[in-house]
Amino acid sequence: MATLTVEIVTPEAPLFSGPATALIARSSEGDFTILPQHTSTVGDVVSSIVRVDTTEGTVAFAVHSGFFQVGKGFGEDETLATVLAGVAERTSEIDVARAQAAKDAAEAKLAAVNRGDHADDDDQLVALAALERAQLRLRAAEFSAS
């Protein structure tokens, strides 16, 4: 029987590795779903919530951009889907209070930049990136609660 193995890895640690029924994520071209026997594919993953459906339920991850690769696994008729992310976390492990605080801090920083307190382009980009990360974390935490 065709099977699918999903791996979610970050530089610091592998987050998930195991059999799954589907992998649902978003690339710069749009949402996609990987099922067993998917053709070999390589692509990017934009900042979004990545869902892994297993027979025991759904596991979700907040992935802050990365890449994915689908190819033949080691076993017979096994499809291996790997998501490579610089930063990612399990939605159930997100610290909502911290994410909220980070979001507020990033918003304050952006407001300050826009008022012209800092003329630095870098500051604005850093603040924007921080805001995006915080927003994704909050959305992901909501997703796991629902």
Site residues (vs another protein, CB under 8 A) = 7, 9-14, 17, 27-29, 32, 39-44, 66-67, 69, 71, 82, 84, 86-87
State in angstroms the smallest separation of the CB of 79 from another protein. Answer: 13
| CA–CA distance, 139 with 84 (Å, rounded to integer) | 21
State in angstroms the smallest separation of the CB of 116 from another protein. Answer: 26
Task: Give whichever of 42 and 108 is closer to another protein, judged by the CB atom.
Answer: 42
Task: Give whichever of 69 and 124 is closer to another protein, judged by the CB atom.
Answer: 69
CB count, 10 Å around CB of 87?
A: 14
State in angstroms the smallest separation of the CB of 129 from another protein. Answer: 11
| Token couple for 88 | 């990612």
Report yes or no: 63 and 25 within 8 Å, Cβ to Cβ. yes
State in angstroms the smallest separation of the CB of 145 from another protein. Answer: 28
| CA–CA distance, 63 with 66 (Å, rounded to integer) | 7
Which of helix, strand or coil describes residue 91? Answer: helix
Task: Give whichever of 65 and 91 is closer to another protein, judged by the CB atom.
Answer: 65
| CA–CA distance, 89 with 20 (Å, rounded to integer) | 18
Task: Give whichever of 35 and 84 is closer to another protein, judged by the CB atom.
Answer: 84
> What residue type is 142 in one-letter code?
E
